[in-house]
Amino acid sequence: MTSLAAPPTVTVGTGPLAPADVLAVARDGARVALSAEALDALAAGRAVIEELAADVRPHYGVSTGFGALATTSIPPERRQDLQRSLVRSHAAGSGAEVPREVVRALMLLRLSTLCTGRTGVRPVVARTYAAILDAGITPVVREHGSLGCSGDLSPLAHCALAAMGEGTVRDAEDRLLPAADALSAAGIEPLTLVEKEGLALINGTDGMLGMLLLAAADLAELLSAADLAAAMSVEALRGSSSVFAADLQTLRPHPGQAVSAANVAAVLAGSDLVTHRGAGVFTRVQDAYSLRCAPQVHGAARDTLDHALRVAARELASAVDNPVITLDGRLESNGNFHGAPVAYVLDFLAIAVADLASISERRTDRMLDTARSHGLPPFLADDPGVDSGHMIAQYTQAGIVSELKRLANPASVDSIPSSAMQEDHVSMGWSAGLKLRRALDGLRDVVAIEILTAARAFDLRERTEPDAHPSPAARAVRDLLRTRVPGPGPDRYLSPDIEAAVALLRDGELLDVARTALAESGAGLD
């Protein structure tokens, strides 16, 4: 009898988590363990806070109020009330629920900062967060509430509230229920927060960083899919492969451009549809920009992603809290909770995503226009005039691209002062993360429609040019699509075809079959 493998375990220590660790917990349900080093650091940090709590001098977050109320002294007997009130009041989110994977990433990243020992919470707080993650309990977090400064206050407060046994959560079966009931069923004791702990649980950039890491993983795959789509469009339009030669890319040595050009060239290898310049053979001198410049556009997006990942790596290595315990044992206020570094790259990626979708839509449109498609029927219709083919699929792309251009408007240039002007400049990084996630969904749809359209173009070319076959990689993608989407014929309900292509792309199956086909010839698709 075959036994099911236990889920992998991610160990949280005093050092930075790897992006793969965050994805494993957020998306794959990996379990969480705390290292002995982390538990020691937590105990040492707590000892500093307990010493300061007994001090007669005011210490922010320990014996004072918060934000604009930092001048208010809080007596020892009211400090548990202070931390509880902080969490309750800041759990003020509104709007739609944030997806489970974002909340799990947010909680893991906050746990990672706690384990540095720089926040001053007790070990039991970290153990409780780990237990909640392991139990599959997901606090209900709302879209609106974070300004991306003083951390993602409201989203993090909703998580802290659940750890206190208050508020609403979803359990491992996605049932909505009171946090107290979910904790009880999992055998988790609700937290009673003491000095500094409520503040430590809500004062971080973990939500926007979590969304950045999730988005980066999605965009990396979509970049490969965009290269695949571009190559298939070049084939469908009987374009030239010569512009993707490696020596031409070295003349402008942007690393992302070289990767994308190599991907396109690899997919085109073995195609009967692309034209190769040779003696006595006439070919079009130049293809349109959306074909010829695909590596330059896709490559710029790759380089933008690389920059974003460098920012993410620095943020993963950070201990974001205010105040924070220094290496020599001081408790110091600081501004490290400001989300500007993460907000900027979230916005930067949204610009790249919009442009990737824009050039994809332009390639699709060329395949539908008889003036530019080099022999394909109008709109790839089976019986033009009676049938409309993929005419409205391009409309769908155009509508999405228009929305992505709006989503590319940066959130980080906005700032609305808050907390009686104490917090007078904020990053809006949480908003930047939310809109990037929506933009990625749109890009996936646009690229899937391009691939679907190119596959249909292959089938239509083979009707009149039976020896003109696409490359092995493109053919493998077309054949997989045909298991879910019929080939050309009289017009049919088109939306399910698009959804099937999107699902194959989302699940990684389209890229998998392309990579398998390329591997047989020793090539790859990065």
Q: Label residue 3 by pLDDT band (50, 70, 90).
A: very low
Q: What is the phi/psi pair of residue 2, to 5°? A: -90, 130
Q: Is the Cβ–Cβ distance between 275 and 316 less than 8 Å?
A: no
Report residue 74 as tokens: 């809080």
Range(s) within the chain of domains with CATH label 1.10.275.10 = 9-204
**Model pLDDT, residue 455:** 98
CA dihedral sign of residues 470, 472, 477, 481:
positive
pLDDT over threshold 70, residue 245: yes
pLDDT over threshold 80, residue 7: no
**Model pLDDT, residue 315:** 96
Question: How confident is the prediction for the chain on average, in pLDDT?
Answer: 93
* Catalytic, out of 60, 129, 395, 493: 60
* 302-345 tens-digit pLDDT: 999 999 999 999 999 999 999 999 989 899 989 889 999 999 99
Q: What is the phi/psi pair of residue 488, to 5°? A: -60, 145
Report residue 281 as tokens: 């053979």
Q: Label residue 279 by pLDDT band (50, 70, 90).
A: very low
For residue 9, the surrounding DSSP H or E stretch is strand 9-12
**Model pLDDT, residue 53:** 83
Percent of the chain with pLDDT over 90: 82
* 494-503 tens-digit pLDDT: 999 999 999 9
Question: Within its chain, how far is the Cα of 274 from the centroid?
Answer: 34
| Threshold 0.75, pTM exceeds | yes
pLDDT over threshold 60, residue 2: no
pLDDT over threshold 90, residue 151: no
Instruction: Please say if 129 is a catalytic residue.
Output: no
Maximum pairwise Cα distance, the chain: 92
Task: Return the closest-CA partner of residue 440 out of 293, 221, 260.
Answer: 221
Report residue 345 as tokens: 């790259």
Class of residue 386 by CB neighbours under 10 A (exposed 0-12, middle 13-18, buried 19+): exposed
**Model pLDDT, residue 127:** 98
Report residue 42 as tokens: 């937590």
pLDDT over threshold 80, residue 386: yes
* 68-106 tens-digit pLDDT: 666 777 788 888 888 999 999 999 999 999 999 999 999
pLDDT over threshold 50, residue 1: no
Q: What is the phi/psi pair of residue 190, to 5°? A: -60, 145
Cross-strand pairs, 240: 275
Given CATH 3.90.1150.10, say whether it is the number of domain 212-519: no
What is each CA distance from 195 to 29, 80, 90, 129, 523, in whole angstroms? 32, 7, 17, 18, 58
pLDDT over threshold 80, residue 428: yes
Range(s) within the chain of domains with CATH label 1.20.200.10 = 212-519
pLDDT over threshold 70, residue 277: no
pLDDT over threshold 90, residue 466: no
| Choices 3.40.50.360, 1.10.3720.10, 1.20.1740.10, 1.10.275.10: CATH for 9-204 | 1.10.275.10
pLDDT over threshold 90, residue 367: yes
pLDDT over threshold 80, residue 278: no
